Structure 1
């Protein structure tokens, strides 16, 4: 028997040591490298497997089985780019393979290329209609793009074929909750718990649904029961944070604060790859560099954007989501739901932050470079808004774009800036108590002291900008919006340059079909009320260490000390 065939027989028999010895004797034979790669995979060495299989692919680039194993090893090793290359080659070799298209979708998802992953999953479903894993993952990438309603439809169609699939049911339940279709989400939870009674994420979701309905006793009992069991750290943190919201609504401020502190302590242990200090350095660098009038004398763009974009900024938890939902209901406006076109445009420049080159590098940009960045902004805007929004006035709402207003005044001098303000004490309390998607900035909110320090950096920068920015600016206070909704929105629309439309006051009519990407999606579905104003008073004892840091801003923004 050929030694490599003998090695393959040993591999199939589970004798890895003998298989490895025989494959190794095959040297650079691609069959031997392939076999060595499979041995490495079975031993849990995905990186070693991807290296060996990659060498084999170089020798046999059209072998479907080899390409599939190579891509799989890369996926298991977290090597997204190589996985995409391997599966892209495989779909060229085997274009009618639904499995190849599905795996390419997985690789593109790992590579953070959701639109391309969506296309690959759709091709897999076209080749193999009803394929459950492709439908499940397609829903996931749609949800990741904020297209939650479309994702729910995909999951519902898959469930029509496989009504007792726990993963599909769980995904659909969470999607329905995101769309504020609470009773449907509850029904999906009940269906899943009949199949898997101890499904902890769904037990948590069901308790959250009770909280959102106002059934606080049921919600509290649900979270308490979960926390008496053994939970994964991330789920335990979520349960503590949810319990804190219930306790807050029950008026039990001290226990609520302790619960959220526990949640944040757990989240801190899970935090990987994020640097809260980096976000602070961004604001500090801009404050150190920026000066009023720095763009004076610069050549103005000869291709003005019309209608002029609006940058809607502020510190997180300043009520921006409420105003955005009102503006999104206006027929002439298109809001971004925190998918800011500016992010992609500034990302290459911000890479110089670590070396100290940014933001000073803005001064070295010539007219051609500025024009290229403006084109990038237009293209990114078109990508985010799609055909329906391109003719409307853009409202780019990402609160911490406030930091980069010094760049915006150069790149987009026709822009207008809308700034949301709120009592700094309520803002910092809300940031500390809120569960955010992690990034450098949001990581600051896991600690009360860093929350206040970050607030001081960002809003201290705003106080510098306020009197010298070369852009039209309007700020408004959350408390004034709550006190006079119509009057405040009229003032904002007048500033933006659009007529008042009654639809802005009936924005809640759209909330069962519109996904709100921010943590405020719960609050904005409720009638406008004053519950969040002055909330900090109940927590004054716990907030005492940061009140001196916030005091200058309390005074500057006109709040009572």
Structure 2
């Protein structure tokens, strides 16, 4: 409850008290780690998690330990820990995601993609792994494959806004503006106040030549949020059917955001 309420100091105290009487209490060690992470002190949780990890195979503990080692600057140790966890069976799928993320941060995109693909061979129905693979393929500019992977993820989980948003962004690059607009509209049906998604919708509408609808979407983006004028101006200027303004005041006047 303390963690959910972001009362990290209180959560830390509770976990510390438990660990004083039982230094190898798994749940207390995990609680302490998350409480310390909430206070930007995750490196202090490494030693308690290492004690738990030495007692036996525990995917959740080992994955969090690997992440904290990387976050503390011990990247080689963290990646080595994550590789050991990924190699164990039965698989703990979040370890594949964490390892791939750390490898991507280190610029090792080929291995990161291979890690997620390995996870998918073990769990081919995992939407989370498909989403991560789609993101990595997007980052490496393999747009056609990213679109295929994310479309499969959407078909498996049609109500997930994170999948729909990522798919929409990839479809814009793939030239499927109608598909992108549909993906963004489905997100907005669930979260109508999501202005970032509405800006992406405007981009896809501009590319479809639906200028009036795109500009209406941008007016909704900037309404009451003048700090988003720059984003709106960029969307209009970058679109093949957009508009360009020389002055911020002209953008504000056009969008009714003065």
Give the TM bin, normalised by the shorter chain: 0.7 to 0.9
Note the C-alpha offset of 1:212: 2.4
Is 1:159 the equivalent of 2:154?
yes
With normalisation by structure 1, the TM-score equals 0.37
Deviation at 1:187, TM superposition (A): 2.5
Distance 1:253 1:133, change over 3 A: closer
| Structure 1 CA distance for aligned equivalents of residues 84 and 215 of structure 2 | 52
Measured after TM superposition, the shift of residue 211 of structure 1 is: 2.3
Is contact 1:38–1:49 with CA below 8 Å preserved after alignment? no
Residues in 1 aligned to 2:18 and 2:214: alpha-carbon distance in whole angstroms:
61
Which residue is 1:23 aligned to?
Answer: 19
The answer to whether residue 128 in structure 2 is matched with residue 133 in structure 1 is yes
Distance change >3 Å, CA 139–CA 44, structure 1 → 2: same
1:525 is matched with none
Structure 1 residue corresponding to 2:246, chosen from 254, 261, 266: 254
Does 2:159 match 1:147? no
Greater Rg by CA: 1
Question: What's the offset of the Cα at 1:172?
Answer: 1.0
Matched-pair contact (CA < 8 Å) for 2:130–2:153? yes
Task: Tell me the residue number matched to 2:79.
Answer: 84
Instruction: Specify whether residues 21 and 259 from structure 1 end up closer, same or farther in structure 2 by C-alpha distance, changes over 3 A only.
Output: same
Query: Are positions 1:208 and 2:200 aligned together?
Result: no
- Contact kept? 2:70, 2:78, Cα under 8 Å: yes
SS of 1:64's equivalent in the other structure is coil
Change (3 A) 1:40 1:91: closer
1:352-400, CA deviations, whole angstroms, 9 ceiling, x for partnerless residues?
xxxxxxxxxxxxxxxxxxxxxxxxxxxxxxxxxxxxxxxxxxxxxxxxx
Deviation, 1:119, is: 1.3
SS in 1 for 2:246: helix
Equivalenced residue count is: 240
Counterpart for residue 63 of structure 1: 56
What whole-Å deviation, never above 9, does each CA across 1:309-338 have from its counterpart, x for those lacking one? xxxxxxxxxxxxxxxxxxxxxxxxxxxxxx
Q: Distance in 2 between matches of 1:129 and 1:85?
A: 25
Other structure's SS at 1:254 match: coil
Q: How much has 1:25 moved relative to structure 2?
A: 6.2
Deviation at 1:183? Answer: 1.9
Which runs of structure 2 are paired with 1:534-549 in the superposition (5 Å)? none
Q: Name the one with the larger strand percent.
A: 1
**Residue 132 of structure 1, CA deviation:** 1.2
Q: Is the 8 A contact 1:118 1:141 kept in 2?
A: yes
Residue matched to 1:124: 119
Q: In structure 2, do the counterparts of structure 1 residues 100 and 43 end up closer, same or farther at CA, with 3 Å as the change threshold?
A: closer
Alpha-carbon contact 1:98-1:127 (below 8 Å) kept: no
Deviation at 1:175, TM superposition (A): 0.7
Q: How does 1:322-471 map to 2 (within 5 A)?
A: none
Question: Quick one: distance in 2 between partners of 1:89 and 1:80?
Answer: 14
Which of 95, 100, 109 is matched with 1:105 structurally?
100
Equivalent pair of 1:139/1:152 in contact (CA under 8 Å): yes
Instruction: Summarize deviations over 1:144-176 as a string: whole Å, max 9, x none.
Output: 111011011111111221112111111111111
Q: Compare the two structures and name the one with the higher helix fraction.
A: 2
Contact 2:11 2:35 in 1 (8 A): no
Could you tell me whether the CA contact under 8 Å between 1:67 and 1:87 is conserved in 2? yes
- Report SS of the residue matched to 2:158: coil
Give the one of 223, 237, 247 matched to 1:228.
223
Higher RCO structure (Cα 8 Å, ≥6 apart): 1
Contact 2:26 2:52 in 1 (8 A): no
Name the TM-score, length of structure 2 as normaliser: 0.74
Q: Distance in 2 between matches of 1:96 and 1:140?
A: 22
In angstroms, what is the RMSD of aligned CA positions?
3.6
Q: Structure 1: how far apart are the matches of 2:205 and 2:52?
A: 59
Matched-pair contact (CA < 8 Å) for 1:244–1:256: no
Instruction: Give distance in 2, aligned partners of 1:185 and 1:245.
Output: 16
Q: Post-superposition shift, 1:210?
A: 2.6
Q: Structure 2 unaligned runs (5+)?
A: 1-9, 253-258
